[in-house]
Amino acid sequence: MEGLTISRKVYPTKGKDKIGDFFSSAFGILLIVAACVVVIPLGLALWLIMSIYNFLKPHSENQKPTEEKWNVVEAPFPLEISYKYIDAATVSAAASGYFDSQPLTVFQVAPETTFFAGYFSDFVVERTDGLFVQKVCFNATMEEVLSMPLYFFEYETMTAEEIADLKDYEIDSKGKPHDFIITATSEQDEIQIRLTRPESSGAWRHCKK
């Protein structure tokens, strides 16, 4: 993609070694045991209180699960794109375990394109020239997440370009009219994906560092 710059920052591991040494020491073990003696009874008491509360709480017989609505993307005519979030548990047990704190996304596109078949993460960034999405690639039995590549789907060409596989990363984005940044963070490193372009031009350019 024109105007794309990807930089990576690897986190130092010295701090992790110190933590490991602490927990392997006798003093660290004693602290862990003491913490368990305090935390476990408190946790059991809290669980008991919540169980009683949920049992006594009135439930509405007419209560129904809310269905996610379709979100319409402002794509140029005649392209029509919409998406909605779904519970990962409806896809597979593996998906439910991997995406326990976030939903999955499904798309409806006209004219139909094979790229939007399947499942995506909840990372969807709309732009005037295209759409950033993260596809979730399962194995044939839907029991394993193989990869989660970030794509940019360009409206004009109706093609998707893969940027990077960001499985096991947390993704965030922030944008300005001529300087757009996506940051992907994991335990080991951080990847920054940046797009810039001159104010007088519609073409994105590489961000030199």
Q: Which of 88, 89, 125, 119 is nearest to 105 (CA)?
A: 119
Residue 34 in tokens: 């003491």
| pLDDT at position 28 | 65
Confidence at residue 52, expressed as pLDDT on a 0 to 100 scale = 81
pTM: 0.66
> Is pLDDT larger for residue 186 or for residue 25?
186
pLDDT tens by residue, 73-129: 999 999 999 999 999 999 988 888 888 888 999 999 999 899 999 999 999 988 888
Burial level of 123, CB count in 10 A (0-12/13-18/19+)?
Answer: buried
How does pLDDT run across 124-151, given as a tens digit for each residue? 988 888 899 999 999 998 889 999 999 9
Place of tokens 């350019």: 205
User: Six-digit token pair at 91?
Assistant: 């896809």
Average pLDDT over residues 3-15: 72
* Residue 132: per-residue pLDDT: 92
Three-state DSSP at 167 gives coil
**Cβ distance 161 to 155 under 8 Å?**
no
Cis peptide bond upstream of 198, omega within 30:
no
